[in-house]
């Protein structure tokens, strides 16, 4: 009964979607603002990756909101789970030799790759959020493979998180003070196009975001794992 | 048939969206509802990326010298989807935290059973 009703509702939705989408051509340029970004993004922000120049150049304030949402989720998760009584139910399976050895070999490489991804955010696909996620995946591997569970050092992770957020804000405020008076104004020189030291403040902010997101996601995993034991 | 050929990405995206909505409407297990939400979100992200596609376009990165601005796909949906993925992770984390709370409190994740019990 309930399945029948939901299938009928979804079919009505599908009909509406098909009727709307058949008017919309696939593979054609639709937004004029996209043309502006691809034409002038190179000169405006100095970043070779236009997605990065949109995320941190044209819409940097939006990204600050995004970082704040992730921060709030991390806090909210810790608050929701903090009042629970700890009840140890142990029985943790010891990880196999392959996982343990593989972890020792892979962990530094994963951290290095994450760092590479967020440092080259303005040149290649990737950026602070992606690099942070790669680093957090390294910590997931650590939690899975270390026999006696090692906790994340909460002081260090909170330090990285706060300093990352503060660097983002302070750079934005310096931009507000200098030059053309808007938040996240690109006050550093653009440098030589398509090199590591280019695009002004974008790599600096992406490094800050990378540290922040990496420590936040690792902390989320840490809190969830702590409660499930 | 030509609709399927021309609109393969839209079809896939809305297939995922409808599957996710169906799961969320019919299932009664909280974890399954979260899985449905994730599938729905993937479909929405795929749809946004497909809207920004331009036939024969490259990724919007000036990584080599031969790439010109005319041949690039739309960067705006990609930037929006980057935001959407991060927000999705935040929502997923909160939903899982609530799942842990519910399971500790009621001993079950079946929403019908939870509704019968009183706080």
- ipTM for this prediction: 0.79
User: In this model, does residue B25 exceed pLDDT 90?
Assistant: no
Query: Does residue B63 lie in a domain region?
Result: no
- Work out the pLDDT band at A90, boundaries 50, 70, 90: low
Query: Does residue A29 lie in a domain region?
Result: no
Query: Does residue B45 lie in a domain region?
Result: yes
What is the predicted pLDDT for the residue at B50? 85
pLDDT higher for A127 or B66?
A127
Query: Does residue B62 lie in a domain region?
Result: no
User: A151 to chain B, minimum CA–CA distance in Å?
Assistant: 19
* A194 with B9: Cβ contact below 8 A: no
* B87 with A217: Cβ contact below 8 A: no
* B62 with A194: Cβ contact below 8 A: yes
Q: How many domains does chain A have?
A: 1
* A124 with B63: Cβ contact below 8 A: yes
User: A97 to chain B, minimum CA–CA distance in Å?
Assistant: 30
- Work out the pLDDT band at A139, boundaries 50, 70, 90: confident
Query: Does residue A69 lie in a domain region?
Result: yes
What is the predicted pLDDT for the residue at B2? 61
What is the predicted pLDDT for the residue at B40? 93
A106-127 pLDDT tens trace: 889 999 999 998 888 888 888 8
User: In this model, does residue A92 exceed pLDDT 80?
Assistant: no
User: In this model, does residue A23 exceed pLDDT 90?
Assistant: no
pLDDT higher for A146 or A214?
A214
The average pLDDT across A97-112 equals: 88
User: In this model, does residue B38 exceed pLDDT 90?
Assistant: yes
Q: How many domains does chain B have?
A: 1
* A217 with B26: Cβ contact below 8 A: no
User: In this model, does residue B119 exceed pLDDT 70?
Assistant: no
What is the predicted pLDDT for the residue at A86? 59
* A50 with B14: Cβ contact below 8 A: no
Which member of B21, B72, B96 has the closest CB to residue A224?
A: B96
User: In this model, does residue B39 exceed pLDDT 90?
Assistant: yes
- The 3-state DSSP class for residue A49 equals strand
- The residue segments making up the domain with residue A216 are 49-228
What is the predicted pLDDT for the residue at B54? 79
User: B11 to chain A, minimum CA–CA distance in Å?
Assistant: 9
What is the predicted pLDDT for the residue at A197? 76
CB of A1 closer than 8 Å to CB of B44: no
Chain A residues whose CB is inside 8 A of the B67 CB are none
Query: Does residue A42 lie in a domain region?
Result: no
Query: Does residue B81 lie in a domain region?
Result: yes
Query: Does residue A22 lie in a domain region?
Result: no
- The residue segments making up the domain with residue B24 are 2-56+70-116
Query: Does residue B61 lie in a domain region?
Result: no
Query: Does residue B40 lie in a domain region?
Result: yes
What is the predicted pLDDT for the residue at A96? 82
Count Cβ–Cβ pairs < 8 Å, chain A vs chain B: 143
Element housing A67 (H / E):
helix A60-82
- Work out the pLDDT band at A18, boundaries 50, 70, 90: confident
Query: Does residue A85 lie in a domain region?
Result: yes
A42-71 pLDDT tens trace: 777 777 888 888 888 788 788 888 888 888
User: B20 to chain A, minimum CA–CA distance in Å?
Assistant: 11
User: In this model, does residue A229 exceed pLDDT 60?
Assistant: no
* B97 with A224: Cβ contact below 8 A: yes
């Amino acid at each position: 009964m309930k399945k029948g009703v939901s299938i009928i509702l979804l079919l009505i939705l599908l009909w509406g979607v098909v009727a709307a989408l058949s008017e919309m051509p696939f593979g054609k340029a639709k937004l004029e603002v996209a043309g502006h970004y691809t034409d002038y993004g190179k000169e405006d922000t100095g970043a070779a990756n236009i997605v990065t120049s949109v995320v941190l150049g044209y819409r940097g304030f939006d990204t600050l909101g995004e970082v704040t949402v992730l921060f709030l989720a991390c806090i909210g998760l810790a608050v929701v789970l903090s009042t629970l009584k700890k009840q140890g139910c142990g029985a943790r399976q010891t990880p196999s030799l392959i996982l343990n050895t593989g972890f020792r070999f892979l962990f530094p490489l994963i951290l290095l790759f994450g760092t590479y991804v967020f440092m080259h955010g303005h040149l290649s696909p990737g950026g602070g959020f992606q690099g942070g996620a790669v680093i957090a995946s390294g910590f997931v591997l650590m939690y899975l493979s270390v026999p006696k569970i090692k906790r994340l050092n909460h002081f260090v992770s909170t330090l990285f998180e706060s300093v990352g957020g503060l660097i983002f804000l302070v750079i934005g405020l310096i931009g507000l003070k200098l030059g053309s008076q808007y938040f996240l104004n690109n006050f550093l020189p653009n440098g030589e196009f398509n090199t590591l030291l280019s695009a002004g403040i974008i790599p600096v902010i992406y490094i800050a975001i990378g540290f922040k997101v990496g420590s936040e996601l690792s902390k989320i995993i840490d809190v969830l794992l702590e409660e499930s034991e | 048939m030509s609709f399927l050929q021309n609109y393969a990405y839209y079809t896939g995206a809305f297939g995922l969206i409808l599957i996710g909505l169906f799961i969320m409407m019919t299932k009664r297990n909280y974890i399954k509802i979260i899985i449905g939400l994730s599938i729905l979100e993937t479909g929405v992200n795929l749809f946004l990326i497909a809207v920004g596609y331009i036939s024969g376009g490259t990724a919007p990165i000036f990584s080599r010298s031969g790439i010109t601005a005319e041949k690039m796909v739309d960067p705006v949906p990609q930037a929006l989807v980057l935001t959407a993925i991060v927000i999705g992770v935040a929502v997923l984390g909160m939903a899982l935290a609530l799942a842990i709370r519910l399971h500790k409190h009621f001993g079950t994740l079946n929403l019908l059973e939870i509704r019968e019990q009183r706080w």
